[in-house]
Chains A and B, each alone.
Chain A
């Protein structure tokens, strides 16, 4: 789901960069030196997790866990995701440099949706975690489908995004399992992030 360069028009990529930098400014406000250290380590942790092949029905897949990042980091998930995408773009060419802003916006929205769902205190924790994981995975796919439609590629990507619901279900299950584990072993990580 990492958009390579050359797929979307330059104007759209530049506009997405500007919007993503705006998001970076808002989500990175009042950032202290000690926060960046923690964010760097959690960015590394999420990158390690995302590179691990997960066995699924005889095949393997890798996870994004954007919803979980939103739960763990709140609005700080956006700069962490942005950093991860910049790193992957420069080192592995997973996603382009020009389309970096677009990728950051798509995946950042997934993480922020996960955070927003997690903050709904009226719901029990397990459905909140599942919904955060599910939305965190599926929202970026549908945003990408909408962008493809806006860029006159047709509506075909909606079909792929819908099929991505199966992956989102796995992400939801993994998010629930991880949050259950964290609740037992390190509950302080799960405190709602300060806005």
Chain B
């Protein structure tokens, strides 16, 4: 859960000071553009892959961090890339290569975003860019309570270990299942209390903020410039 608890992985990155809305829109538009490349082994397609790699390196979020994120996604990407090859489709190898470039490009961009922007700022940006309010609100609350429930889980685990003297194999399944159920029960009970407290404090379904950030010229440059590079490669 390290990635969850560290607020920002690369606070000194040149990408960090930009407005989260600019970063989210730049990442999304670049992913959209790179994903729209036809699955053909053209030099500009490979150039788009290199372009994204360079962007991730310029963001200076750490090679190890990027590698870790790419490795975590590798099983699914490898499976998707191998499917056309194993199915004996014509141009299966080309499709596999295209899947790899597009998928890793997206992961690199999202990793750079995650490493330079606090989660709550990203979620607020996603909301400001037009995502449904209920979705953003549920995700924000989820993030807020995740730490509480993780602590709860650790407490339940410690109590179980104390009671059972470790983890007796015989009852392992039942123990684990009951422990999982306890997380839901505790989550539910806490939800009842928290909801009542929030309503009493005047919660109306939004989190007002006093900090209003202006979209500066450099933010516009990032939001438009980064995808523009990919678009030029796409249409050239």
A residues with CB within 8 A of B: 1-7, 9-10, 13, 21, 24-25, 28, 31-34, 36-49, 51-52, 54-55, 63, 65, 72, 79-80, 82-84, 86-87, 89-94, 96-98, 148, 152-157, 160, 173-174, 177-178, 181-182, 185-186, 189
Contacts and interface: CB of A to CB of B under 8 A. Distances in A.
A84 B79 CA distance: 23
Given A72-B184, A156-B83, A4 B146 contact: no
A60 to B, nearest CB: 11
B138 A79 contact: yes
Interface residues of B, number: 85
Given A6-B105, A40-B141, A44-B142, A54 B176 contact: yes
Interface of B: 1, 3-4, 27-28, 31-32, 34-36, 69, 72-73, 76-77, 79-80, 83-84, 86-89, 95, 98-99, 101-107, 110-111, 113-114, 119, 122-123, 126, 131-132, 134-135, 137-146, 148-150, 153, 172-174, 176-178, 180-192, 194-195, 198-199, 203-205
A37 B139 contact: no
Nearest to A37: B195
B177 A178 contact: yes
Contacts of A32: 205
B102 A154 contact: no
A169 B192 CA distance: 32
A40 B145 contact: yes
Q: Is the interface of A mostly helix, strand, loop or mixed?
A: helix
Given A31-B134, A45-B184, A83-B142, A38 B195 contact: yes
A3 B122 CA distance: 21
